[in-house]
Amino acid sequence: MTAPQTDTPPLEISHEDDPRVIKEAVTEDYSRHVVPQTARSGRWSLAMAWWALFSAMFWLYVAVSTAQAVGSRNAIVGMVLTVLIYGTINMILTRQAINNGLTVALLSRRVFGNVGSVIAPLLFAATAIYYAVFEGSIIALALQKYFAPSSDIRLWYLLVVVYALPLVIGGVQAWLDKLNGVLLPFYVAGLIFIVVAAGHKHGYSNDFLSIPAPFEASVPGWLWAVCIYMGVWIMMMFTVDYARFGKPSDAVFHGTVTFGYVFYAATFLVNGLIGIFVLNTVYPNLAATEAGLVDAILEVSGFVGLLVVIVSQTRINTANYYLASGNLESFGLRFLRLRWPRLAWVVIAGVLVYLFMLTDVLSYLLRALAWQGVAVVAWVAIVLTHLAMNRGEKYGPEFRPGRVKAVLPGAWAALVATAVGIGLTEFGTAGAWYVLTAPIITFVLAAALYAVGVQLSGDGLVKRRFDPRDEVASVWGDRVRCHVCDRSYTAIEMDRDPSAGQQAICAACAEGNGDYLAAVHAESKSLA
């Protein structure tokens, strides 16, 4: 700790959490702030909240689609490799998130810049909304088929959206962990029941392990399977926004079990094998569709199958709506200057989900997700490259608005790599090797462009006169009052405001603050 500067007002320091911040965090979940270590979740609380994503019908659907595209054996090899890849990457991201307490939006500021970082929350929110549409449509379709096949599907869509919204208002720590912890055993038991019912009614067979590939691909089938699963790397972003609530003492557990190899073995491998077995057993010649999967489950297990669909999709949609609302809030603040509470964005997310359902989004959902998947792969490549190049950062990635430039190399790298990836997918020769491996090409290109961009442009940090981090005994233990919102936040996110006599300002109040950013620019220019 260094002595405070004599020409700056003294920081108002406290050593306990601000009661007003704690109260707001019940619904806001520190969506625009660093999560203080005193607000971290217990090991199993966080694990139960995250494992909501284990129960998505999408994992059954994508496994069946992959098996029908490359053959069962190639699909299984691809799923095993995917578990290893996902487990390794998410172990790295989990430790980063736990150490720094940053959301995807805050982390992205360091690699994309203040203006460029608007890309990440917009991409994240759009993808989460699309997944909410898919999973919600599964519930609506199941309810319609079971109760009233001739009824208007739009009414079921509305019901599914309306009942989901109250479940995510409370946030990860207040409600989602408890809800998903209670529902997890029901989902597991339901899956077992469906497998037993399918085998009992149609006969047990290992034919599902021998589904042939319909044609000889231009790349090995297992490699194509890995690329298919790269299309859902949005899970990496999901990991960051959840893992930031983990305690440093639980980093190994969360990196391995909650967000790592154990989770993905259950999510991709177990779910995938069950999906392939059930659909191939009930409808052996049916092409993979979300309707076909629902029909197969209802056909063999009736009302129990309906409950499994409702439980599974309710669990996954708590995560989808939670992440969509949080990132819509971040995008609204950065791009539209709207400082609305997360509750408002939960409602907006619900309205958007319902509107997309009405457009028959399932007809173009997979193409939209393919485009977004390429963009997410670029984001992951850039973040991993940044972490590898900056392992010695004292406080982790810089995220304070007044400390990073408007646009950084990550923004250009992401745009170029994403454009190339989408171009290969949309305009390349169908089935060509470069089309099937577009996600890998995107990953390598994004990482290379970012590394070169950083070398050519420098670290992208803004020179400043004073830093509150140098004025406190502990950047995590001390709380500093913000002169704008009158709340006290962890010192690691605080900065000096040159537009207000160098008073302290928190990261959220600094974000999008025109007077503050203009004064920061002037200060930096004078130092240069």
Rounded CA separation 118/71 (Å): 40
Radius of gyration over every alpha carbon of the chain, rounded to an integer in angstroms: 24
pLDDT of 337 over the 80 cut:
no
| Angle between the N-to-C axes of helices 57-70 and 271-282, in degrees from 0 to 180, rounded to the nearest 10 | 70
Rounded CA separation 414/216 (Å): 32
CATH of the domain at 159: 1.10.4160.10
For residue 234, is it within any domain? yes
For residue 421, is it within any domain? no
Residue 316's CB is within 10 A of a number of other CB atoms, namely: 26
* Domain count of the fold of the chain: 1
For residue 312, is it within any domain? yes
pLDDT of res. 392: 76
Q: Compute CA 115 distance to the chain's CA centroid, rounded to the nearest angstrom.
A: 20
Which residues constitute the domain of residue 137? 38-371
CB 202 within 8 A of CB 282: yes
User: Residue 182 pairs with which residues in a beta bridge?
Assistant: none
Task: Give the mean model confidence (pLDDT) for residues 28-51.
Answer: 89
Give residue 288's pLDDT band: very low, low, confident or very high (50, 70, 90). Answer: low
pLDDT of 160 over the 80 cut:
yes
User: Residue 503 pairs with which residues in a beta bridge?
Assistant: 497
From 89, 99, 91, select the one nearest 397 (Cα to Cα). 99
For residue 326, is it within any domain? yes
Cβ-based neighbours of 456, under 8 Å, separated by 6 or more? 409
Range with the poorest average pLDDT among 262-266, 277-281, 291-295, 417-421? 291-295
What percent of the chain clears pLDDT 70, i.e. is strictly above it? 94
Range with the poorest average pLDDT among 41-50, 133-142, 306-315? 306-315
CB 168 within 8 A of CB 328: no
User: Residue 481 pairs with which residues in a beta bridge?
Assistant: 488
- In the chain, how long is the greatest CA-to-CA distance? 81
Q: What is the mean pLDDT of the chain?
A: 89
pLDDT of 332 over the 80 cut:
yes
For residue 389, is it within any domain? no
pLDDT of 421 over the 90 cut:
yes
For residue 74, is it within any domain? yes
Q: Is 213 in a helix, a strand, or coil?
A: coil
More confident residue, 120 or 505: 505
Task: Give the mean model confidence (pLDDT) for residues 330-355.
Answer: 85
Rounded CA separation 264/262 (Å): 6
Cβ-based neighbours of 158, under 8 Å, separated by 6 or more? 354
pLDDT of 27 over the 80 cut:
no
Give residue 49's pLDDT band: very low, low, confident or very high (50, 70, 90). Answer: confident
Give kind and range of the element (H or E) at residue 184. helix 177-202
For residue 345, is it within any domain? yes
pLDDT of 301 over the 90 cut:
no
pLDDT 10s digits, 189-225: 888 999 999 888 888 888 889 899 988 889 999 999 9
Task: Give the mean model confidence (pLDDT) for residues 327-354.
Answer: 85
What percent of the chain clears pLDDT 90, i.e. is strictly above it? 55
For residue 13, is it within any domain? no
What are 410's two structure tokens? Answer: 């990550």
What are 179's two structure tokens? Answer: 């809800």
More confident residue, 317 or 172: 317
pLDDT of 405 over the 90 cut:
yes
